[in-house]
Amino acid sequence: MTLDVPGGSAPWTMTIDACYLDPDDPLYSPEPNSGVYFLRGDRGGDYYTSLRVSYPTDKALSYQLNGTGTILRTGGPQVLSIQLDSPATLDLTLSGETVITNAQGATLTHAVSGAGAAEGMGDDGLWSMLSLVTNWLGEDAAAAAGNAVNTAIQGVTTMYVYDIHLEDPYGAEFAIPAGDQVTVTLPIPEKLSAENLHVFHVADDGTVTDMNATVDAAAGTVSFTTSHFSTFVLANVAPQQTTATNAGETLTATGDASLIVCAGAALSGLAGAGLVAMGFKRRR
């Protein structure tokens, strides 16, 4: 079934019920033609009903299932996969950006450009199927990034090393298309201060770039805009030691490479001052 969602910002709502079930089924609704039959949640986790939603190519579709059940955006661009445990209400809203969240409390926003309109769909259908990965790194990966940051700048007191990227529904990495960009918002880790907090990008060749992040101390978050993914470092830097840079400008090498934060355990042979041990999640 295909639903046409009108343009504009007002929410659009449909009621999903189980009116086509047998009368003795607890989800049965006696109203004729009162809704669309969707698979029950107790029929097994692999069974979903697909609902294709048609909406303007310059808009992003957000959705919320108010009821007991599951809704996924993995059935294909512009398709909602729905499984119900009871009758529910589906709320649909259009906006100008796609928002992706993950279990770590991180979010990514992407402004809808309408790319792909000639093929009959905008880019939101694709972007909304992606997953945001924000893994802490440890061992050699954390040490290499920590060395690069400390070589580039003095005064680093504490840092967290992250692998940040997007994955498609099959687990393959998704590269941001050329000329496009996204905004990433991360919760500030407990051991980091919102004051004098920086986000650095560390390229594969060790080049370090200050992302000129925006800190929201009240919300406990830090945000930055990027056109590419790989390794990022959240770090507190003593203000008198910060190297002044412009947006996107690479930091000059002025720091002490002895300070490296390793997730998990202290690395042998490193200077003890300033070393912080942190847990980590391996990249899947």
Q: Residue 79: what pLDDT? A: 86
What is the rounded (10 degree) CA torsion for 129, 133, 134, 140? -160
- SS3 sequence, the chain? CEEECCCCCCCEEEEECECCCCCCCCCECCCCCCCCCCCEHHHCCCCCEEEEEECCCCCEEEEEEECCEEEECCCCCCEEEEEECCCEEEEEEEECEEEEECCCCCEEEEECCCCCHHHCCCCHHHHCCCEEEEEECCHHHHHHHHHHHHHHCCCEEEEEEEEEEEECCCCCEECCCCCCCEEEEEECCCCCCCCCEEEEEECCCCCEEECCCEEECCCCEEEEEECCCEEEEEEEECHHHCCCCCCCCECCCCCCCCCCCEECCCCCCCCCCCCCEECCCCCC
- pLDDT > 90: percent of the chain: 39
Q: Residue 279: what pLDDT? A: 31
- pLDDT > 70: percent of the chain: 65
pLDDT mean over 126-142: 90
Q: Residue 139: what pLDDT? A: 78
Which residues, listed in sequence order, are joined to residue 53 by a DSSP beta bridge? 3
pLDDT of residue 103 exceeding 90, the answer is yes
